[in-house]
Amino acid sequence: MPREITGEVIHVVGPDEHGDYELDGTVAELAESRYLLVCREGGKPSVIERVVAFFKRDPITPVTLVADEGAEEGSEIEATVEFTTVDGVYEVVEME
């Protein structure tokens, strides 16, 4: 069942960089010749949201998206994703 995710792209791993990282076997299979986008779920927080999160000790919720196209680090994306067998890793169906 698809899910909508809004997130700030923290890091991008291109298809030619997969060897530089220790990817889980399942993630490596999913990513094969695709991009891995590590995102902060919920989008880019404001300064006030960051201060509140710091005092509440509320951690960043990272998610990894497996996509056919890359994105710029620091950009905010909206994507329709499908769940995978790996917790926190989603396959992108459609990205804006």
Q: Is the separation of the CB atoms in 74 and 9 below 8 Å?
A: yes
Q: Give ∠ CA 91-21-93 in degrees, rounded to 5.
A: 10
Query: What distance in Å separates the CA atoms of residue 33 and residue 29, rounded to the nearest whole number?
Result: 9
In total, the chain counts a number of residues equal to 96
3-class DSSP state for residue 14? Answer: coil
Reported pTM? 0.87
Lowest-confidence pick of 56-60, 65-69, 74-78, 82-86: 56-60
- Which residues in the chain belong to E strands, given as ranges? 3-13, 35-41, 62-67, 76-83, 89-95
Query: What distance in Å separates the CA atoms of residue 60 and residue 44, rounded to the nearest whole number?
Result: 11
Query: What distance in Å separates the CA atoms of residue 54 and residue 60, rounded to the nearest whole number?
Result: 10
Q: Is the separation of the CB atoms in 66 and 89 below 8 Å?
A: yes
Q: Could you read off the pLDDT of 21-60 as tens digits, one per residue?
A: 999 899 999 999 999 999 998 888 888 988 888 899 888 7
Q: Could you read off the pLDDT of 16-25 as tens digits, one per residue?
A: 999 999 998 9
